[in-house]
Amino acid sequence: MSATVFIDGAAGTTGLEIADRLAGRSEFALVALDEARRKDASARREALNEADFAILCLPDDAAREAVALIDPASKVRVIDASTAHRVAPGWVFGFPEVIGHSVVAEAKRVSNPGCYSTGFIALVAPLVRAGLLPADWPYTCNAVSGYSGGGKALIARFEDDTDIAWRGYALGLGHKHVPEMQDRCGLTLPPLFSPAVIPAHRGMVVEVPLPLAAMTGAGTPEAMREWLAAFYGASRIVRMGREPDAELLLRRSAEPGDALELHVFASADGSQARLVAVLDNLGKGASGAAVQSLNLMAGLDETAGLRL
């Protein structure tokens, strides 16, 4: 029998992409509310409590309200794609490659990682754990994303104003991904995060520059590259990239993808390095990650339905 899945917020960008990844899969049956009922609290309460799985694709406050609608005795297992529960007690962080596949598989409450923090955590957390990077360094993170990560309003803005070439934001240094970036990497200090949006629908590059000559106890770039390759092993989702000779590219025509590609670039003398993650902000950065967790929680191959 198919497991039932209710996507609360199915009309949003993340919800639509999750539904697309689940379309035609016999393991799951989507529970859908018609337009007249999808914002009705009683209808949502019923759907949330009766489904086998609920995936919340909602703003933070609405996600908290949805969780409050779930009865304590309900069988439903929840994946929250919002920021609301990423560092909350009782919630498992939905990054199985870093947290542990069995931990996600057995969880009742899973919080999807943020798109930017997926790249940062994938690069930094394993290296800090291995002692190849210090936990008390004041890290910086520079990143660019396609505009789809900003939701319907930002999508409309970029599609209406085609003259925007670059949009810097979170200039008050309070981006909502920073707490999970610090917490999940075990850092003493919050990273200084500089995100920006570019005129491409999807795609993301996350970079962590490392002045290794000033970092006491840091490993060599080669040791970092070797450890990341060993840490992620034969993963079909997280991969070490082939180091390009001259450039990395994001394309406006990029197709959906659920892989995460990691790079370690270094100066010839090894005194400086650039850790770089490339991903689809709507894939491993959102919808693909939710489906990966759903697969594990349902006892299925984690890559089922993913675009790899």
Catalytically active residues are 115
Structure tokens belonging to residue 177: 């991904």
Write the CB contacts of 68 (distance below 8 Å, at least 6 apart in sequence). none
Handedness of CA 233, 266, 258, 293 (dihedral sign): positive
Question: Within a 13 Å sphere around the CA of 182, how many CA atoms are in the beta-carbon half?
Answer: 16
Q: What is the largest CA-CA distance in the chain?
A: 63
Structural contact between residues 186 and 126, judged by C-beta atoms closer than 8 angstroms: no
The whole-angstrom separation of Cα 132 and Cα 135 is: 10
In the β-sheet with 140-146, what is the strand arrangement from edge to edge? 167-168, 192-198, 140-146, 204-210, 273-279, 260-266, 238-240
Exposed, middle or buried: residue 125 (CB in 10 Å: 0-12, 13-18, 19+)? Answer: buried
Q: Distance between alpha carbon 178 and the CA centroid of its chain, in Å?
A: 13
Structure tokens belonging to residue 24: 């035609």
Element (DSSP H or E) covering residue 261: strand 260-266
Write the CB contacts of 243 (distance below 8 Å, at least 6 apart in sequence). 263, 264, 265
**What string of DSSP letters covers 207-238?**
EEEE-GGGSTT---HHHHHHHHHHHHTT-SSE
